[in-house]
Amino acid sequence: MILADRVAIVTGAGSGIGRAGALIMAQEGAHVVVADLNRDGAEETLRQIEAAGGSAESLVLDVTDDTALEAGIAAIASKRGRIDILHNHAGAQVAGDLEHVSVTGFDRSWNLNVRSHFMAARLVMPIMRQAGKGVILNTSSSSGVLYDREMIAYTTTKHAVIAMTRQMAGDYAKFGIRVNALCPGWVDTPFNDPFIAQMGGRGAIEAYVAEKVPLGRWADVCEIAEPILFLVSDRSSYMTGQILVVDGGETIV
């Protein structure tokens, strides 16, 4: 197992891509800390990991709460003696163009999609630096490398994640710490509900995906889990500061 004996924290692991990433890391031997605001979601991910013979624990918290985040990470480090992997995945879509997005929605998007990633990385970095190794994976989006219709809050934050990832990678490579970003395209999860509503329903989004994505379909979460595993494991040991786009070809057209 390629992640044997490693400790991984995955935020937003209570559903969707976060859950798929947590499951595959546990399958490959990591002890996974399932961090999520939704207790039921976190417990379900934990149940699935343990049912498959993996090792995990849940950490129910709001990642935008600095105090709770610091306490949670400190508790994991104290209990496990190490943190090898941080996958910053928790995020949200907030729909609207410049004139129609709510200011509170924009602020929420920034705090969750960017600032919480910054804070979690800041908190684990001393632990990784002392160990002389570690991996941080930040979830951006294909919206971080292209235009996304009337989604200014989302695209702004996801572009920012890429810039932040590159900066972290450049600053901390000398300590043996790798930092990369994952940019998923259209993945069929409830995360897309705000955009589906904005587009006018499921039928409209299906037609949109079929037209915009060269492969003509959504991705299943398992198709994103494998790239996650690649980026957090030694299979990508000479990669840092890179942006892996997994989007069915949308960004090439």
Which spans in the chain are helix H? 16-27, 39-51, 66-80, 103-110, 116-131, 152-172, 193-199, 202-212, 222-232
- Determine the length of the chain: 253
Task: Give the active site residues.
Answer: 154
155 within 8 A of 170, measured Cβ to Cβ: no
Crossing angle of helices 222-232 and 16-27, rounded to 10°: 60
Q: Which residues of 84-112 are buried (b: 16+ CB within 10 A; e: fewer)?
A: bbbbbbbbbbbbbeeeebeeebbeebbbb
Paired strand residues for 173: none
CA angle, 158 as apex, 73 and 9 as ends, to 5°?
A: 20
